[in-house]
A and B are shown apart, each in its own frame.
Chain A
Amino acid sequence: MTSLQIRGSHRVVTIVDDHPITGTGIAAQLRQQGFDVAAVVTAVEMLDATGDMVVCDLRLPGRSGPDAVAFLAQRGCRVLATSGVAGQEEILDVVAAGACGFVCKTAPISAFIRAIRDVTNYSYFVSAGLAHLILADAELRPLRAGDFDDLERATLRQFERGDDADEVAANLGLADDAFTGVLSSIWDRAVARRARFRPSPRERQLMSLVAGGCTHKEAAAQMSIAVMTVSGYLKSVKEKYLATHPHVPGSVSPLTAARRWAEETGTRPIGSKRPGAGIWS
């Protein structure tokens, strides 16, 4: 298990991190393990190669995490997202945006190596934590039809217990291709359910405004809508928030719900860098 065999040819890795020290730190450790780190860049736009394996930080200036991941995925990259601060909602949104897996930034380098290996061998990397998030999200946002079957649930439950992809595949008696098929189906459903209880573009814009400290009136002025409409949007945001957060009391104010959700999803307040940048944009 410590011998991390890579069956494919994906030993070329690119790292995107706006903190050069973090990026080069990971790069040095990967090189030590025999990986070919093609480049360490500080923004997704600086990447010229396509089809590479990219380890991408989720806190890049001017782009939300899912935004950055979607940018890379559209260019054919296999994206491993990494962050030390991303919340559960943001991680799931990053998966929905096209990431093949998520590695916590504080994890030892062996976790990054296993992640790269699993993405190479099985197209996806499922950490114990991500398996747990995906299962929990399935409870909150059940699909109306064709949700996880027993095999997919059993797969995720084994990942939750800390087994790695090779072990889970062996436990379930699945060949590589069949196992990749199971993971791919898990991914499709995990992505599909993110559309449920999702704030509309205008609601997202409002969330980022109030998270930045705008009052109803200021937000209304910014969005060129009536204050009454702002209240309506906030009420709708609160309903969706409560539907996906069963432990939050119904007495939470619409403004608090919108702010908290903005925080959880990494929807950053509007700043000078990129007005209106939301995670779903």
Chain B
Amino acid sequence: MVGVLAFGALTATWTTLALLSGGLQVEPMLVSLGLWYTLTLFIASESQDMAQLAGAAVRSHDKLAERLREVDLARERELAFREIHARLLPIVDAVAAGATMSGPWTALAAREAARARRLIGDGRGGLGPGFADLLSDVRDTFAEAGMAVSAVFRILADPPAEIGEAVAYAVREALTNVLKHADPRGEVHLFAESTGEQLEVVVRDRGPGFEPGAVVPGCGFARTYGAVRRLGGTVDVRSAPGAGTKVRILWPAAGWELAS
């Protein structure tokens, strides 16, 4: 502010003096010298202020970044803990206790090794969770909830990731419906077959079933199954009172016999 006022006063004095004396004299020269000097001082002080502001901004940004790093780190630690505690340790414990690594154990160990590799960013674990992993996770979730869900998987190759995820959500939706509407202790069977170019998934329960015409399709039917349909698949729901329910997911929709 002082700089601006001094600059204004000096400019005025210089102009007056230059107008009064017709030619170049000593006084205007001196004044202009002073003018340029103050102008330089003014610019210098202003840039110093700006530098300070910028410094403060950088510092607060650093602080924020540090906080974010901490949050990330905590999340990473939690993930690692869960991964080690719930998935790897049981296998290591079993080996330590002298278990022979037979069929199911070897398969489980291979799956968890691939998962752990993905987690630490090792490319050998594959890109994302495989279709079988996605479905196993869904199955395990419901089995832990006490559902007697048997499963048969024949996954020769994974479908495109988008389809795989949409189908896994559709299976979750179908099993949730079993939990809600059928006997949660009753038999449920999950079948999945994928060649990479084609997949078929069946969720079959032996609960009370329903009259298809009398039930208003819910949100899950419209959105979760809708996602499968948008990606080119079909979801066929069949039921009758007393006959249980059969949800059959096919992708792509073309080339299947829907008869059975």
**Distance of A151 from chain B, by nearest CB (Å):** 14
Q: Are A1 and B102 in contact (CB under 8 A)?
A: no
Q: Does A104 contact B (CB under 8 A)?
A: yes
- Beta-carbon contacts of A94-118 to B below 8 Å, as 1s and 0s? 0000000000101110110000000
Bound: A106/B150 CA distance, A: 10
Q: Which of B164-209 contact A (CB under 8 A)?
A: 185-187, 189-191, 202, 204, 206, 208
- Beta-carbon contacts of A135-179 to B below 8 Å, as 1s and 0s? 000000000000000000000001011110000000100000000
**Distance of A183 from chain B, by nearest CB (Å):** 18
Query: For B150, B208, B242, which residue has the most chain A Cβ atoms within 10 angstroms?
Result: B150
Question: Which residue of the partner chain A has the closest CB to B202?
Answer: A161
Q: Does A84 contact B (CB under 8 A)?
A: no
Bound: A262/B101 CA distance, A: 11
Bound: A110/B187 CA distance, A: 7
Q: Does B25 contact A (CB under 8 A)?
A: no
Question: Which residue of the partner chain B has the closest CB to A3?
Answer: B242
Bound: A108/B208 CA distance, A: 16
Q: Which of B212-260 contact A (CB under 8 A)?
A: 242-244, 246, 260
Q: Are A107 and B191 in contact (CB under 8 A)?
A: no
Bound: A3/B209 CA distance, A: 13
Bound: A88/B103 CA distance, A: 9
Bound: A128/B188 CA distance, A: 11
Q: Does A193 contact B (CB under 8 A)?
A: no
Q: A161-B202, A171-B260 are in contact. Are A107 and B150 (CB under 8 A)?
A: yes
Bound: A127/B189 CA distance, A: 10
Contact of A260 (CB < 8 Å), options: B101, B185, B187, B243: B101
Q: A87-B102, A263-B102 are in contact. Are A110 and B206 (CB under 8 A)?
A: yes
Question: Which residue of the partner chain A has the closest CB to B260?
Answer: A171
**Distance of B258 from chain A, by nearest CB (Å):** 13
Q: Which residues of A contact B154 (CB under 8 A)?
A: 132
Q: Does A259 contact B (CB under 8 A)?
A: yes
Q: Are A87 and B104 in contact (CB under 8 A)?
A: yes
**Distance of A198 from chain B, by nearest CB (Å):** 17
Q: Does A2 contact B (CB under 8 A)?
A: yes
Interface size on A, residues (CB 8 A): 30
Q: Are B103 and A264 in contact (CB under 8 A)?
A: yes
Q: Are A1 and B152 in contact (CB under 8 A)?
A: no
- Beta-carbon contacts of B152-168 to A below 8 Å, as 1s and 0s? 10100000000000000
**Distance of A89 from chain B, by nearest CB (Å):** 8
Q: Are B185 and A128 in contact (CB under 8 A)?
A: no
Q: Are B103 and A128 in contact (CB under 8 A)?
A: no
Contact of A108 (CB < 8 Å), options: B100, B106, B187, B191: B187
Q: Does A129 contact B (CB under 8 A)?
A: yes
Question: Which residue of the partner chain A has the closest CB to B190?
Answer: A162
**Distance of B164 from chain A, by nearest CB (Å):** 19
Q: Are A1 and B243 in contact (CB under 8 A)?
A: yes
Contact of B186 (CB < 8 Å), options: A88, A108, A128: A108
Q: Are B202 and A162 in contact (CB under 8 A)?
A: yes
Q: Does B109 contact A (CB under 8 A)?
A: no
Bound: A132/B204 CA distance, A: 16
Q: Are B100 and A260 in contact (CB under 8 A)?
A: yes
Bound: A91/B103 CA distance, A: 13
**Distance of B112 from chain A, by nearest CB (Å):** 16
Q: Are B103 and A1 in contact (CB under 8 A)?
A: no
Q: Are B242 and A161 in contact (CB under 8 A)?
A: no
Q: Which of B84-120 contact A (CB under 8 A)?
A: 100-104, 106
Q: Which residues of B contact A163 (CB under 8 A)?
A: 204
Q: A161-B202, A163-B204 are in contact. Are A107 and B103 (CB under 8 A)?
A: no
**Distance of A71 from chain B, by nearest CB (Å):** 26
Query: What are 9 contact pairs spanning A and B, CB under 8 A?
Result: A106-B148, A107-B148, A107-B187, A128-B189, A132-B152, A161-B191, A162-B191, A171-B260, A264-B102
Known: A162-B204, A264-B103. 20 other contacts (CB 8 A): A1-B206, A87-B103, A107-B148, A108-B148, A108-B186, A110-B186, A110-B206, A111-B187, A127-B150, A131-B152, A132-B152, A132-B154, A158-B260, A160-B191, A161-B202, A162-B189, A162-B190, A260-B103, A262-B100, A263-B100
Chain B residues at the A interface, C-beta cutoff of 8 Å: 100-104, 106, 148, 150, 152, 154, 185-187, 189-191, 202, 204, 206, 208, 242-244, 246, 260
Which 6 pairs show the lowest CB-CB distances between chains A and B?
A162-B189, A162-B204, A263-B102, A263-B100, A132-B152, A161-B202
